[in-house]
Amino acid sequence: MENLHLIVGLGNPGPEYVRTRHNVGFRLLEALAGRWRAAWKLEKKFHASIAAAERNGRDVILGRPQTFMNASGEAVGALVKFYRVPLARLLVAVDDADLPLGEIRLRARGSSGGHHGLESIEQHVGSREFARLRIGIGRTADGRREITDHVLTPFTAAESAVVEQVLTAAAAQAECWLENGIEMAMNRFNGAAAGPGQEKKSE
């Protein structure tokens, strides 16, 4: 499949993690699968759940690593190698505590920013040259750097309403990346996707 693209969302497997902040990458992939009517299946050889879709002439594999966050690269590396996906056609969606809740930011490359899931992927694919869509989850009110407890807690009811808007905008950004390239996707969607006084971005 010469035109194959791979979109991966990071998170932790298991029902206890489903609504946590760390799992917004998974939730974005679930939103895309719903929009594209793609069915998930567990592929043990990839250590991932995957869903295949076709979007405007482009074949897409959606992937959710089932390795836990810190070993995400095992699954992503296996998918990249098996499907022979150039890193220019790889997009990774992750939570980002350094972005305020309600903001999204797509970049063509970059550092992990201390995100262990991205660190694992960089190690397994041997490069930082892949797109990453960061979904803001904010920090605790005291702004402390140690945020393990924070990322593993669920969103509040008020935050959840914002997250739903953010995921809609992030899904539209991923589709724009797929169909029109990263520059247009960055220009159209980077920034505040939801929050007080912020209208939901159009698709």
Which positions are catalytic?
22
Outline where the chain has alpha helix (H).
Answer: 24-36, 72-83, 116-125, 148-151, 157-180, 182-189
CB contact set of 20 (below 8 Å; sequence gap of 6+) = 12, 151, 152, 153, 154
- Contact call for residues 118 and 158 (beta carbons, < 8 A): no
SS3 content of the chain, % helix, strand, coil (to 5): 40, 25, 35
Cβ neighbourhood burial of 36 (10 Å; 0-12, 13-18, 19+): middle
Which two three-digit tokens encode residue 199? 């209208």
> How far is the C-alpha of 106 from the C-alpha of 135, rounded, in Å?
9
- One-letter identity of residue 63: G
